[in-house]
A and B are shown apart, each in its own frame.
Chain A
């Protein structure tokens, strides 16, 4: 069964450093997303990406965040200058663009645990 893969599974970084979280969405999917979940809290939407541009973003997704699809397979989330409060599990998701059925499910990866020290 196709799946969304994320690397690394765990990343530790020092405050102020830049981090890049990587995701390989399912190959025929066209919509890509990042979510995060701070320990013990809700899963929060960050950003959606379609046709090489951001289609929607939440208030959390401020100027220190950026996303990119550098090639035909990877989808990345960059945090420019990490803060302690960026420590969370980050989930990538993807969904297909099925023109005959608007109800396409989102598939989530297993997440990258980011720890900022």
Chain B
């Protein structure tokens, strides 16, 4: 699985959009980009994933560059409850999606 690089921490004002970047320059054609988050030592929570097209769900949007070497997770209106560590993970999609390799992630602090 390709390696990812994320900033160790970011701040965001409550109500503003949080844009979390991720670099994955060695991503292969059959590898997907997944985002999970972990709120204060709780179990990781799935957010979104994508291959090459931009994706949106009720939690967030995922923007993947055309060359697929980087992506951005967007939380459109961050709340205090979005304070968490966000993990960008690149992996080949298989039937079992659980063999996830977590990095250190980005610690997002949403401030009032």
Q: Which residues of A contact B (CB under 8 A)?
A: 4, 31-33, 35, 37, 42-45, 48, 50, 55-56, 89, 91, 93-95, 97-99, 102-111
Contact size range, B:
20 to 34
User: At the interface with chain A, which of B21-29, B73-81, B91-99?
Assistant: B91-99
Main secondary structure of the interface of A (DSSP, over half): strand
Which residue of chain B has its CB nearest to the CB of A33? B98
- B17, CB-defined interface residue at 8 Å: no
Residues of B within 8 A of A107 (CB): 46
Contact between chains at B97 and A105 (CB < 8 Å): yes
Contact between chains at A97 and B95 (CB < 8 Å): yes
Q: How far is B98's CA from A42's CA once the two chains are assembled, in angstroms?
A: 16
- B10, CB-defined interface residue at 8 Å: no
22 residue pairs from A and B, CB less than 8 Å apart: A31-B95, A33-B98, A43-B38, A43-B44, A43-B87, A43-B102, A50-B96, A91-B43, A93-B43, A93-B44, A93-B98, A95-B97, A95-B98, A99-B95, A102-B95, A102-B97, A103-B93, A104-B97, A105-B46, A106-B97, A106-B98, A108-B44
Q: How far is B32's CA from A104's CA once the two chains are assembled, in angstroms?
A: 12
Which residue of chain A has its CB nearest to the CB of B34? A105
Contact between chains at A55 and B38 (CB < 8 Å): no
Contact between chains at B101 and A45 (CB < 8 Å): yes
Give the contacts of B77-112 with A (CB-CB under 8 A).
87, 93-104
